[in-house]
Amino acid sequence: MRDNIFTKIFRLYVDGFRSMKVGKKLWAIIIIKLVIMFAVLKVFFFNETLNTKFQTPEQKSEFVLDNMTNKEP
């Protein structure tokens, strides 16, 4: 039976990951850092201010447009 190209690629990565010693720890550190980074980004940069202040999409878009186009010194 002939293997699919995706199966071959998957097996290549699985076998390579199994034979790693230090790499597993490094990948764990990378994943932990990404989770922390996205959690911080979500809290500080993607807040829900517009959803709490305005009910309709028109009100939200008007608020954003006004804030982006008004130049205050």
Asked whether 16 and 10 are in contact (CB, 8 A), the reply is no
Report pTM: 0.46
Residue with tokens 């500080």: 44
Q: pLDDT tens for residues 5-43? A: 999 999 988 888 888 888 888 888 999 999 999 888 887
User: Within 10 A of 29 (CB to CB), how many other CB atoms are there?
Assistant: 10
Count Cβ atoms below 10 Å from residue 67 Cβ, excluding itself: 9
Read off φ and ψ for residue 3, nearest 5 degrees: -80, 145
